[in-house]
Structure 1
Amino acid sequence: MLKNLSPLLSGALLSALDSMKDGETLTLVGSGYPENTINTPVVHLEDDTTTEAAAEAILSVFPLDNIHPSPIAFLDLAGEPYDVPDVAFAVNGIASDAELRRVPMERLGLDEFLDQARTSSVIVRVGSDAPPCAFLFRRGAL
């Protein structure tokens, strides 16, 4: 174990994050996500890992893009323009805390989300009992 490093950051996940280049995308998914439709390496976290815990661990070492207008996108299955799911609200707060700035986040419909996820460098899958959710994190420079 490394000092001050989340135990959720396994060797496989750290290696995947380290190999990513600026502008590449990581996809963080919960249950119900059709990961088998995308030909991207998948890192599975423990079954009891929540989306929020995974986001906090990843964003503690993963710099978000500060040039792109929205370095985070979330899959919006509800289609309600003024309703942000609790998990999306929480992940946005975690990202803003990690970046020490307000991080804009956009919502994407299923087709647009899947199109962008297909170009992801890695998919991180949280526990099976997580609420249906999915996020795209665009990597920035340190």
Structure 2
Amino acid sequence: MLKNLSPLLSGALLSALDAMNDGDTLTLVGSGYPEQEITTPIVHLGEDVTTEAAAEAILSVLPLDSFDPSPIVFLDLGDEPYDVPDVAFAVNGIASDAELRRVPMTRLELAPFVELARRSAVTVRVGSDAPPCAFLLRRGSL
């Protein structure tokens, strides 16, 4: 284990993050996300890891794109346009804290989300989320 690094940042995950280029996207998905839709390399963080814990670990080392007006996209499966899932609020707060700025998010429905997710550099899968949730995180530069 490395000092001051989350234990969720495994060698496989750190290697995948290091291989990403500026502008590349990481897809973070929970257990409800359809496995057949994942076409990129997958790093599993474990069945007991939450999306929030994974986001906190990833965003502690991954800079978000500051030129993209919305470097985070979340999958919206709800019927209410003004109803944002708690996990989306949490990930947005984690990102804003990590970036020391407000980080805007965009919501997409399943089809356009999956289209973007298929072009991700890597997919990080967690297992403890009951509702389907997924995020796209666009890497920036330091």
TM band (smaller chain): over 0.9
Aligned to 1:35: 35
Residue 48 of structure 1 aligns with an amino acid whose one-letter code is D
Contact 1:50 1:130 (C-alpha < 8 Å) held by counterparts: no
Q: CA deviation at 1:79?
A: 3.4
Q: CA deviation at 1:35?
A: 3.1
Aligned to 2:131: 131
Indicate how the Cα distance of structure 1 residues 104 and 40 shifts in structure 2: closer, same or farther if over 3 A, else same.
Answer: same
Q: CA deviation at 1:124?
A: 0.3
Specify the SS of the correspondent of 2:116: helix
Specify the SS of the correspondent of 2:68: coil
Aligned to 2:79: 79
**TM-score normalised to structure 2 length:** 0.96
Specify the SS of the correspondent of 2:119: coil
Indicate how the Cα distance of structure 1 residues 66 and 129 shifts in structure 2: closer, same or farther if over 3 A, else same.
Answer: closer
Aligned to 1:47: 47
- Cα RMSD of the aligned pairs, angstroms, is 1.0
Percent of aligned pairs sharing the same letter: 80
How far, CA to CA, are the matches of 1:134 and 1:119 in structure 2?
14
- Give the count of matched residue pairs: 142
Q: CA deviation at 1:93?
A: 0.1
Residue 72 of structure 2 aligns with an amino acid whose one-letter code is I
**Structure 1: any 5+ residue segments left out of the alignment?**
none
**Structure 2: any 5+ residue segments left out of the alignment?**
none
**TM-score normalised to structure 1 length:** 0.96
Please show how residues 1-142 of structure 1 align to structure 2 within 5 Å.
Answer: 1-142=1-142
Contact 2:51 2:129 (C-alpha < 8 Å) held by counterparts: no
Contact 2:73 2:107 (C-alpha < 8 Å) held by counterparts: yes
Q: CA deviation at 1:116?
A: 0.3
